[in-house]
Each structure stands twice: as C-alpha cells, then as structure tokens.
Amino acid sequence: MEIGIDSFASAMYGDNNTLSSVDAMEQLLQRIEFADQCGLDVFGIGEHHKKEFLDSATAVILSAAAARTNNIRLASAVTVLSAADPVRVYQSFATLDLISKGRAEIVVGRGSAIEAYPLFGYDLKDYDALFKEKLELLLQVRDNEFITWYGKFRPELNNLPVYPRALQEKMPVWLGVGGTPESFIRAGSLGLPLMVAVIGGQTHRFRPLIDLYRQAGEAAGFKPHELKVGLHSPGYVSNSTEKAIEEYYPGYAELWTKLGYERGWPPVTKGKFDGLIDDLGVLIVGSPERAAEKILRHSEALGGVERFTFQMDNAGLTHSQLMNAIELIGTKLIPLIKKG
C-alpha cells in the first residue's frame, strides 16, 4: 500500500493564524521535500479558490515541489475538472511530468467546494454534464497526440495536436469520488483508479459503493488488478495517541464547525469527534501504531486499498507538528503497513 499526504495549502494554520502567504507556501514546499526524504509515496495538492487556501494553481505548486524532490509522486487532490479546460489541465500536468521526470498524477473530480463554477462562468445545473464531457476529453488528450472532438461546453477540436506530451506513456488519471453511486460506476466503466474521499462517518460503509466500482470495471473488461482503490481521509499522527488528539482536536473542531455552518452540518462536539476516531470511524488520529492498525483495518473492510492519503494540514497544526507527523509516517507507520 502507498502512503501519502494531501494538502489544501492552508494559509490559516497554526501560530494564531498570523503566518504570511509567502511563509505558508515556503513551509508547504519544505514539507513536501521532507516527505520525499522520509520515504512517503505521494503528496497531493487540492484546488480551492478561497482566501483560506493557496492551492488555486495546483500544478504550479507541484512543479516547484518537483524541483526539490526526487522520488515522491506528485498529484492533484483534486483538480476541479468541471470548471477547467481539459486541454490546459493536460498541458499543465504534462509539463509537471517532464519537470518531475515522470512522477505526475491527476486526480479529477467535480469538487465538493463549488466556488470555481461562478468564478469561471459555469452553471451548477450542469454539474454532472460538465464533468462527464470534460473527463472524456481529458482522457482523449492524454491518450492521443492529435485530437478531433466536439461537445457542448467547449469549442471543437479538428485534428489538432496537444503539446507537450507527458514523459509517462499513460499519465495516471484517478477519479476522485464522494458518495454518489454513479461516480463509482463511471470510474469502473472507464477502468480508472478510484480515490475515495471519506470525511465523515464510518469508512466500512463505503464497501457497497466500492463493490459497484469493481463490478462495473469487470463488466467493462478490466482485470481486478487494474481497478485500484485509494482512500483519502482526514487524520494526524503524533508520538502518542493522547498527544495526537490533544494537538489535532481544537483545530479540527474549529474548521469543521465553520464548514458545517456553511453547508448545514451540526457543530463538532468532543463526543462526535471521539466517535470518528474510534475503531470504525473515519479519522486516522493517533500514534503510528494506532494509525497503521486502523489503515489496515479500513483496507480490509473495503476489500483492499492500494493507496492511503492523510489530509491533515488544515487543523490548526504548526509547521513543526506537521514535520514531526511526516517523520513518524515515514519512519514508523510505513514500515508497519509494509509488515501488514
């Protein structure tokens, strides 16, 4: 199993939210560089268009990281494809692939945060139709140097080339999904690796949806080993489980209460949090031993997970705490995962 971190390039974490955007970006790049040195497999950068985050130009951040790293794979987490031009997305990540010498990946999704739609002139009523059409074009561009294509939301292409081409013959494109059955079926039917974002509740409840993905993939002629499943969950690792909870909970409660106010969720309580960090809950918060045990349990419950990524840097944690977490993941958690 591959282990990594996803970041939303938060500009609001730690130090009483006094960190400048310049310093926040530099510290993020330091963390990606350190994750590479510690042996983590992948680092993903999200996409938001809000004051609290610095990740609106995902491929630019990843390209800066590529120049400072050697082995770690660099991915989006996720690219809001519905509000983007698939040709430009491919060109940006193909360029990243050249800079990184073949370490680029794209995780595409419709986006649970919807601020990109009005910003780039798209109507939310076309939420699914936009994604379906643009995913089709992205895959065609990835697989073909010359493109002939037409659709509803973009001018047609008549035997036009798209450059540069990625170093990887088939640059990985993952489908990022939440809880919509149609999204799982779509990923399976296309034979795309699946990245499941579980941010609340109990992880094992996603098993029926992942079964739908595998069934759709096999029905489309893909072999089981071609149908990769990844899991993205909020979490944090510290030297002990007690210390991890003490450091993680205040920022988590603040952030998710704010998100809840925006999206209609109830405020976070300590009792609810305790349920999320128990054996079946989604949050991977604890010592390396506790976190590794829970990741393996989740993988077994979901029928096998090939990649797990922590989303941890928007919970009020300081740079030093995040660096310590990265070191613990690389030196202690990953060896435990490999032992199984």
Q: What is the pLDDT of residue 12?
A: 64
The identity of residue 175, as a single letter, is L
**3 state DSSP class of 235:** strand
> Taking 90 as the threshold, does the pLDDT of residue 35 lie above it?
yes
Q: How many residues does the chain have?
A: 340
**Predicted confidence band at 219 (pLDDT cuts at 50, 70, 90)?**
very high
Q: What is the pLDDT of residue 267?
A: 87
Mean pLDDT to the nearest integer, 239-267: 88
Contact 138, 89 (CB under 8 A): yes
> Taking 80 as the threshold, does the pLDDT of residue 17 lie above it?
no
Q: What is the pLDDT of residue 297?
A: 97
Mode of pairing for the β-strands spanning 173-177 and 157-161: unpaired
The identity of residue 81, as a single letter, is L
Backbone angles phi, psi at 109, to 5 degrees: -160, 175
**Predicted confidence band at 133 (pLDDT cuts at 50, 70, 90)?**
very high
Q: Angle at Cα 243 formed by Cα 242 and Cα 244, nearest 5°?
A: 90
Query: Which one is predicted more confidently, 153 or 258?
Result: 153
pLDDT tens per residue across span 52-76: 899 999 999 999 999 999 999 999 9
Task: Supply the mean pLDDT for the chain.
Answer: 94
| Range in 192-196, 253-257, 318-322 the model is least confident about | 253-257
In angstroms, the CA 248 to CA 331 distance is 21
**Predicted confidence band at 259 (pLDDT cuts at 50, 70, 90)?**
confident
Quickly tell me which residue has 């109830």 as its tokens: 266
**Predicted confidence band at 256 (pLDDT cuts at 50, 70, 90)?**
confident
Mode of pairing for the β-strands spanning 194-197 and 146-149: unpaired
Measured from the Cβ of residue 267, the count of other Cβ atoms closer than 10 Å reads: 11
Closest CA to 45 of 309, 318, 284, 319: 309
Q: What is the pLDDT of residue 261?
A: 77
Quickly tell me which residue has 């435990």 as its tokens: 336
Percent of the chain with pLDDT over 90: 86
Quickly tell me which residue has 């970041």 as its tokens: 7
Q: What is the pLDDT of residue 254?
A: 86
The identity of residue 151, as a single letter, is G
Contact 212, 303 (CB under 8 A): no
**Predicted confidence band at 255 (pLDDT cuts at 50, 70, 90)?**
confident
Residue 242 tokens read as: 């007690």
**Predicted confidence band at 232 (pLDDT cuts at 50, 70, 90)?**
very high
Mean pLDDT to the nearest integer, 15-40: 90
**Rounded to two decimals, what is the model's pTM?**
0.95
In angstroms, the CA 166 to CA 308 distance is 25
In angstroms, the CA 114 to CA 124 distance is 8
Backbone angles phi, psi at 182, to 5 degrees: -60, -35
Backbone angles phi, psi at 296, to 5 degrees: -65, -35
